[in-house]
């Protein structure tokens, strides 16, 4: 489980409740009509903007914000260097016996094509095409949450305008103006909360997850290509380490020293 996501949501929710309960009672901030306008409007606009099957799969997309299998790039590089050592010592066909211990289907596909003697350009084309498909799938999921982050505040403002119109049409009783204004403003509050505590931060987390996965996939592609070309394992390691973030590279250099 991603603790930063859970901690962020709990902390943000707790701060909101603390601010509310410190100045008023929770009931003053609850209004079913305002919730319906913001959530219902955001969902309706999202359905207009995206295919139904994409919207229906948003729960699976959000799950990646909480549960994601993180792969250590440095460990991945170590595995690829080990495969390069086997290929260099025993020949590339020896890697076929190692596919049973590899858990990543992407690595298995690349190694298997290399063992089968597939043309290097074709291997790279196939793996890059799969990488692009993964990137597009991630972008589609992130776009839905980005959309909700845009539409929720807009419908919050729409709800506020509706409330103001109703209030201005019933100003005979001055004592009702304050409560009516408070209810009208709740939709703006709800829209801001949905966008800035849930939709947009989760969209950014999905973007981060996508970058991490695409990085590991690119390391695999370059590793497989280096192994097939018969590069020295030390050269393979140096090539793949260039894909690591600068901070991670410094950590690896310090560890090696």
**pTM reported for the whole predicted model:** 0.83
| Size of the chain in residues | 257
Report d(CA 160, CA 157) in Å as an integer: 5
Rounded distance, CA 169 to CA 186, Å? Answer: 19
Which of 17-31, 133-147, 228-242 is the least confident region?
Answer: 17-31
DSSP track, 93-145: GGGGGGGGG---HHHHHHHHHHHTT--HHHHHHHHHHHHHHHHHHHHHHHHHH
54-68, 130-144, 175-189: which is most confident: 130-144
Q: Is the pLDDT of residue 246 over 80?
A: no
List the structure tokens of 231. 């590069």
pLDDT at 249 over 70: no
Contact status, residue 160 vs residue 177, Cβ threshold 8 Å:
no
Confidence (pLDDT) at 28:
79
Q: What span, in angstroms and rounded, lies between the C-alpha atoms of 110 and 224?
A: 6
Distance separating alpha carbons of residues 111 and 147, to the nearest angstrom: 39
- How many Cα atoms occupy the beta-carbon half-sphere of 123 within 13 Å? 26
- Specify the pLDDT at position 152: 96
Please compute the mean of the pLDDT values over residues 22-41 and round it to a whole number.
Answer: 85
Domain borders along the chain are 1-26, 31-72+124-256
| Rg over CA atoms, the chain | 26
Mean of the pLDDT values across residues 188-208? Answer: 94
pLDDT surpassing 70 at residue 67: yes
By mean pLDDT, which of 11-25, 30-44, 72-86, 172-186 is the weakest?
172-186
Other CB atoms closer than 10 Å to residue 88's CB: what's the count?
16
84 and 233 Cβ atoms separated by less than 8 Å: yes
pLDDT of residue 256: 55
> pLDDT at residue 71 above 80?
no
Instruction: Report how far residue 20's alpha carbon sits from residue 37's, in angstroms, rounded to the nearest whole number.
Output: 21
């Amino acid at each position: 489980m991603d603790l930063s996501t859970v901690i962020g949501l709990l902390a943000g929710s707790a701060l909101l409740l603390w601010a509310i309960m410190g100045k008023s009672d929770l009931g003053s901030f609850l209004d079913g009509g305002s919730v319906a306008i913001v959530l219902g409007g955001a969902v309706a606009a999202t359905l207009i903007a995206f295919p139904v099957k994409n919207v229906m799969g948003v729960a699976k997309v959000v799950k990646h914000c909480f549960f994601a299998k993180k792969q250590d790039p440095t460990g991945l590089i170590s595995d690829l260097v080990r495969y390069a050592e086997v290929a260099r010592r025993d020949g590339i066909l020896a890697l076929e016996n190692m596919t049973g211990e590899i858990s990543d289907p992407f690595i298995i596909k690349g190694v298997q094509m290399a063992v089968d003697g597939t043309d290097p350009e074709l291997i790279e084309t196939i793996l890059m095409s799969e990488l692009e498909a993964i990137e597009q799938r991630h972008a589609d999921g992130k776009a839905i949450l980005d959309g909700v982050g845009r539409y929720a505040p807009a419908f919050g403002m729409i709800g506020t305008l509706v409330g103001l119109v109703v209030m201005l049409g019933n100003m005979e009783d001055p004592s009702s103006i304050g409560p009516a204004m408070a209810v009208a403003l709740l939709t703006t509050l709800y829209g801001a909360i949905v966008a800035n505590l849930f939709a947009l931060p989760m969209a950014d987390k999905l973007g981060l997850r996508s970058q991490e996965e695409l990085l590991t996939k690119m390391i695999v592609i370059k590793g497989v290509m280096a192994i097939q070309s018969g590069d020295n394992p030390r050269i393979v390691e140096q090539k793949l380490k260039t894909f690591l973030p600068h901070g991670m590279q410094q950590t690896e250099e310090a560890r090696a020293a």
